[in-house]
Amino acid sequence: MGVTILKHSEFERKPLPIVETVVTQQLILLPLYFFLPFWLTIVSLVIAAVVLRAELKGEFTINRWLKVALTLVAFILVFVSFRKISGRDGGVGLISLMYAFKSLEIKKPRDVNVILSLGFFILLAGFLFSQSPMIVVYQVIPIMMILHVLVMLNSVHNVHLKFIDSRSIKFERIKPHVKYIFLALPIMFVFFVFFPRLGGPLWSMPGMKSAVSGVSDTMMPGEISDLQLSDEIAFRVKFNTTADNQSSLVNKSNMYWRVMTMNHFDGVGWSRRNVKIISNPNHQLPEEAKVSYEITLEATNQKHLVALDRPLSKVRIGNLYEDYSVVSAFKIYDRIRYSATSSPTLTLDQIITPEQQDFFTRLPAEGNEKTKEWAQNTRQLYESDAAFIQSILAKINKEEYFYSLSPPTLDEDLVDSFWFDYKIGFCEHYASTLVFIARAAGIPARVVVGYQGGDKNPLADYWIVRYADAHAWTEIWLQGRGWVRVDPTSAIAAHRVEEVLRSDFSFRDSLFEDIEFVDIDNLSAFKQMTYWFDNLNSQWNDWVLGYNRNMQRKFFSSWGLSGFNQTQLIVIMIIAVMFFTLLSGFNKFANRDKRTPIAKAFNLVCKNLASKNIVAYDAAIGPEHLRQLLINRKAHYYRHGGKPNSAYDAIIDSIEQYIKLRYSKNSPSDDQEAINKLIRQMKKATSRLSRLTE
């Protein structure tokens, strides 16, 4: 359908699509509401409500000084919330608030244009918080709305077409936007594949260090239990070994993910000291004793990497240390992926030096005297260190020791208070206490922190480990056996585990009972969908967000482009973009005239009227506009003494029939006989045009 031609002054006075603009603005801001303070969301929604109410009630004006005051208040609120107005959180918060305030200034088409154009940039801010596939899919909606409102703003469909059912034109208005997006997809793909990869993450800026931090360099009471409150994903792991080899070496109950060891106790917490890099680890192990895997680690803001206990060598981005932890040279501020190899049955340090013996039995000179005395006296009752350690596990199992996410606040002597008085705690309490007791008895011991267990995604071949799986255990050095993993938490009787941990989170399922692999047929629909979405996220991370220089190089090599440098690749990219652009342009040119016969007949009427100087022809002229022009011309003809002429009535009648047949909701648009009849009527009316000039 055509549009009415307006002069510039008339165009400026036409109603603005304010409601549509405000709705589009809120759709643009919606993803940010999940990451910014709640008060900012409320302020933005209140502004939108004020603008919509003003549109319904009449003209809304706001004093210039009030705008200045609101702007200053916005700066103050953002600064109070974020302690700065720069960086990711503060900067995006301020920009979002200013963008919301912009709707108060809508007076002219230019103001709407500014809001819509800025919307494309505001949409990009969402990727600073999340790059999940769902936010990408969602952003198609505000983009479509921006294009739709831009078309409304620059057309006059809404002025003279009130008699047309909106349902009949809804798809026709959206169809071009969908077409433009699909035309842009090949160009987007070319840019994604060929554009040189940056050395660091694309969506990064100061202030983007707000990820869950994982385990830290120290272990203080309550730190790991705080992590248990987060169900966010810590990392995903895919095993590269055969199923038989994996099942023989690794299962959920012994799947311990090592992060670091703690070897120094100051009376309150544990820390890591005096650990050196292993320059050339030499482990002569058969292949069946090794497990290779690939880890996709989420941002931790720490240098420590995760490896299956016990790693055999350094990884691409980190070094292996003598406590068999893997540490990166830089902090992990973005998702990374690396490969590693471990041997869970590896024997560590069968022989230690006297200096190491002294270091791993060292305790503060004062404090926790009761536990020290108990450990020394009890050790004398057993023939070996192993028997002594086993007796402690038996004591935990048989006596009233409880496992709780919310243990009570301990007294100054933490170990004494836990071991003899409260007897309730989390994994770090049990691990810390066991190491303290072993050292007090002269047995080398250290705390190990990391993760335990994980969930296998039954829809894909990888495991999911969450922060909720954070765990602490111990390693006890035994003569002839080296460092032996001892997990005191697993000794707790199942009936003394806090109910909320068992029923709600299953954090330590693999420690208290045997868990088999997940059967997808036995899962609820919600759980299956959860696994499906996680698999989607994993694939998105691997193939889109993880498309770095190495992956780009491998992709080019598979297509025989490994010999091209970056300059040549950019040239190829430009040529490909030009090809798709010319192809779409040629397609548009080749299909420039796909009008129906009835539309062609109407166009012929317009051209003939113009050739007779009756109306000025324009390709954008619409039938309703043309009908009104002819009615005005007919009235002008009779006012100036024109003789009665039925040709005017015939032309006007044929145009009215055309409007009814093509646009009315009750029109017989599929009645070919009616269409052919109207075409004949329009041709006949056209043949009588000469009588209009007589």
For the stretch 403-413, pLDDT in tens is: 887 777 777 78
Considering only residues 654 and 265, tell me which one the structure prediction assigns the higher pLDDT: 265
Taking the model in full, what pTM does it have?
0.66
pLDDT band (50, 70, 90) for residue 450: very high
Select the more confidently predicted residue: 422 or 156.
422
Q: Which of 454, 459, 451, 453 is nearest to 527 (CA)?
A: 459
Percentage of the chain with pLDDT > 90? 26
pLDDT at residue 207 is higher than 60: no
Cis peptide bond N-terminal to 310, omega within 30: yes
| pLDDT of the residue at 691 | 53
Q: Distance (Å, rounded) from C-alpha 277 to C-alpha 318? A: 10
Average pLDDT for the chain: 79
Side chain identity at residue 467, one-letter code = Y
How far is the CA of 436 from the CAs of 90, 214, 218, 222, 269, in angstroms? 45, 24, 16, 17, 11
What does the pLDDT read at residue 226?
Answer: 55
> pLDDT value at position 66?
78
pLDDT at 449: 93
Q: From start to end of 329-469, where are the E strands?
A: 336-342, 402-403, 424-425, 445-452, 455-457, 462-466
Checking if the pLDDT of 166 tops 60, the result is: no
Extents of the domains making up the chain: 8-169, 223-515, 597-693
pLDDT at 227: 52
What does the pLDDT read at residue 510?
43
- In sequence order, the 6+-apart residues with CB closer than 8 A to the CB of 412 are 367
402-403 and 424-425 as β-strands: parallel, antiparallel, unpaired?
parallel
pLDDT in tens, 518-556: 454 555 676 778 777 788 887 787 777 777 777 777 777
Is residue 127 predicted with pLDDT exceeding 90? no
Q: pLDDT tens across 15-71, in order?
A: 788 889 999 999 999 999 998 999 999 999 999 998 888 887 766 667 777 778 888
Amino acid at 3: V
The mean pLDDT value for 164-189 works out to: 65
DSSP 352: -
Question: Which residues have C-beta within 8 Å of that of residue 582, sequence separation ≥ 6?
Answer: none
Question: How much is the pLDDT for 355?
Answer: 93
For residue range 331-341, list pLDDT tens digits in order: 888 888 899 99
Going by pLDDT thresholds of 50, 70 and 90, the confidence category of residue 3 is very low
